[in-house]
Amino acid sequence: MTSAPTRDDSWEVGYIQLIRQNTMFRRLWAGNVVSLLGDWFNTIALYALILQLTGSELALGAVFIAKMLPSGLASPIAGLVVDRFDRRRVMIGADLIRAVVVLGFLLVDEASEVWMVYLFTVLQVVVGSVFRPAQNSSVPNITATNELMTANALMAATWSTLLAFGAAAGGFATEWLGLKAVFVLDSLTYLVSAWFIWRTVIPQNTDAVTDRGGLIRTAAKDVLAGWRHMIQVPEIGRVALAKAAWAIAGGGLVFLLALLGEALSPTAASVAIGILFAARGLGTGIGPIIARALARDRAHWPMILGVCISASGLCYLAIGFLPWTYWIVALIIVAHATSGANWVLSNVLLQERTEDRWRGRVFATEWLAVMVADTIAILAASLILDAELLDLRGVLLLLAGTQFLCGVAWVLLVVPRERRWAG
C-alpha cells in the first residue's frame, strides 16, 4: 500500500490540477459522481411515488425520515467499522449491496405496498451509512495539505451539482421514462461507483482488526470512547455540531421544498419538485466555491459558520412572505449557498483537527447529530401540517425563524470559545 502524498502548505492547487495530478482522488471522486447522480434520480422518483399513491404530507415526511434517521442511528457503528476495516473495501461492499436493494422499489405499484418503500429505503441508507464516513475519512489520506481544501470544495460542489442536475433530470425522467426505469438506473450507478473505487489505492493509519468477535463485543465501548474523545477535545466537538445547528430547522425546510413544488405545479409535481431541489443543489455547489475563494483566514471560519446559518434562515423568511412563483428559486439558491459554505468549512476543520484513528467515529457521530436534528424538524413540520395547526406558509416561517436564531446562538456561544482556544 502506498503512503499518503507529501504535505506542503506553500500553495493551493486548483480543481483541474487536482483531478489531473492526483489519480487516487480522481477515481474516488468519479465513483462519487456516478452514484450521486443515480441517488438524486431515485430520490425525486420516491417523492413523486409517495405523493401519487398517498397524497399525504405525513407519508412524504416519513420518506424523508426513512432516508435520514436510520442512517444517523447506524452512523456510530458505521464510524467504528470505518476506523477498523479497510475503507476501500467498505465502500465497495456498500455500493454492491445497495445496487441490489434499490431494485426492490420495482415491486411497489399500489398504496397497499407503500410499506415496502420505507423498508427498502431504510435498508439502502443503513448499508450506505458506512460510505459517507469512509469517504470523508479517506480524502485526507489521498491528498496533500495544499490539496485538502480544494478536494473538499470539489466534493461538496459535486454533491451539489449532481443534486441540481440529478434532481431536475430526475423529475423529467420520472415523468417521461417512468418510475421503474429510474430505479434501474440508480442500481447501475452503484455498480459503476464500485468499479471506480476498486481501482483506488487508499492508505490508512487505523487499528487493524485481529479478532472480529472481540470487535463486536467491545463495539459499544469503542463508540462511547469516540464520543468521549469529542467531549475531551472541545475544538473537535464544537465544529462537529456546525452542520447540526443548521439542520435543527434546515431539515424541515428541505422537506417543505417537495410540498412547495406540488403547490407551484399540481399537474406536474415531479418537474416542479425537481426544479426546486435543483436550485438547492446549485446553491450548495456555489457556496463551497465562494468559501474556498474568499475565506482564506481560518481564524474567521467559526464566525462564518454562524453567519451562514442565519443567512439561510433569512432567505427562507423572505420566501415565506413573498408570493409563490418560480422566482423563489433565486432565494433557494442563496439559502443553500450559505449552507454549502457551512458544510465544506466545517468538514475541513474536522479533518484537520482529528487524528486519522478517530476520524471515522468523529464524522459518523457528526452525521448522527445532523440526522437527528433533520428528523425532529421534518417530523414536527409534517405533524403540524397533518393536524392543520398551521398551513404550509406558516410552517415555513416558523422553521425559517428558528434557523435564523440558531445562527445567532452559534455566534454568541461558539465563536467566543473558538477565539479563546485559538488565542
Specify the higher pLDDT residue, 162 or 193: 193
Among the listed ranges 83-97, 157-171, 322-336, 382-396, which one has the minimum average pLDDT value? Answer: 157-171
Distance separating the N- and C-terminal Cα atoms of the chain: 39
Q: Letter for the amino acid at 103? A: L
Q: Strand, coil or helix: what is 179?
A: helix
> Taking 90 as the threshold, does the pLDDT of residue 405 lie above it?
yes
Q: Strand, coil or helix: what is 9?
A: coil
Angle at 374 between CA 369 and CA 380, to 5 degrees: 130
**What would the pLDDT profile of 343-371 be if each residue is shown by its tens digit?**
889 988 888 888 877 877 777 778 778 88
Task: Give the pLDDT of residue 1.
Answer: 36
The phi and psi torsions of 7 (rounded to 5 degrees) equal -100, 135
CA 132 from chain centre, in angstroms, equals: 8
Task: Give the pLDDT of residue 213.
Answer: 52
Q: Domain boundaries in the chain?
A: 15-422
DSSP 208: P
List, in sequence order, the alpha helices (H) in 102-130: 114-128
Q: Residue 334's CB: how many other CB atoms inside 10 A? A: 17
Res. 208 pLDDT band, cuts 50 70 90: low
What mean pLDDT comes out for the span 292-303? Answer: 83
Q: Are 63 and 47 in contact (CB under 8 A)?
A: yes
**Distances in whole angstroms, Cα of residue 54 to Cα of each of 51, 62, 120, 200, 303:** 5, 12, 18, 43, 43
**What would the pLDDT profile of 306-338 be if each residue is shown by its tens digit?**
999 999 999 999 999 998 888 999 999 999 999
Q: Which residues of 274-287 are buried (b: 16+ CB within 10 A; e: fewer)?
A: bbbbbbbbbbbbbb
DSSP 112: G
Task: Give the pLDDT of residue 93.
Answer: 93
Question: What is the Cβ-side half-sphere exposure of residue 401, based on CA atoms within 13 angstroms?
Answer: 8
Q: Letter for the amino acid at 11? A: W
Among the listed ranges 69-73, 174-178, 193-197, 227-231, which one has the minimum average pLDDT value? Answer: 174-178
**Distances in whole angstroms, Cα of residue 260 to Cα of each of 108, 254, 309, 396:** 25, 10, 21, 10
List, in sequence order, the alpha helices (H) in 295-355: 301-321, 328-353
Q: Phi/psi class of residue 388: alpha, beta or left (left: φ > 0; alpha: ψ in -120 to 50)? A: left
**Separation between Cα atoms, residue 201 and residue 188, nearest integer Å:** 23
**Separation between Cα atoms, residue 332 and residue 264, nearest integer Å:** 14
Q: Are 406 and 309 in contact (CB under 8 A)?
A: yes
What mean pLDDT comes out for the span 210-236? Answer: 68
What mean pLDDT comes out for the span 163-168? Answer: 71
**Separation between Cα atoms, residue 4 and residue 153, nearest integer Å:** 20
Which of the residue ranges 219-228, 248-257, 273-282 has the most confident prediction, judged by mean pLDDT?
248-257
**Separation between Cα atoms, residue 375 and residue 369, nearest integer Å:** 10
**Separation between Cα atoms, residue 52 and residue 111, nearest integer Å:** 9
CA 338 from chain centre, in angstroms, equals: 14
**Distances in whole angstroms, Cα of residue 348 to Cα of each of 143, 237, 288, 317, 343:** 12, 14, 11, 29, 9
Specify the higher pLDDT residue, 154 or 295: 154
> Taking 90 as the threshold, does the pLDDT of residue 393 lie above it?
yes
How many residues does this entry show for the chain? 423
Nearest by Cα to 28 from 170, 152, 176: 152
DSSP 298: G
Into which CATH architecture does domain 15-422 fall?
Up-down Bundle (1.20)
| Cell numbers representing residue 300 in the block | 474567521
Rounded mean pLDDT of the chain? 83
| Cell numbers representing residue 111 in the block | 398504496
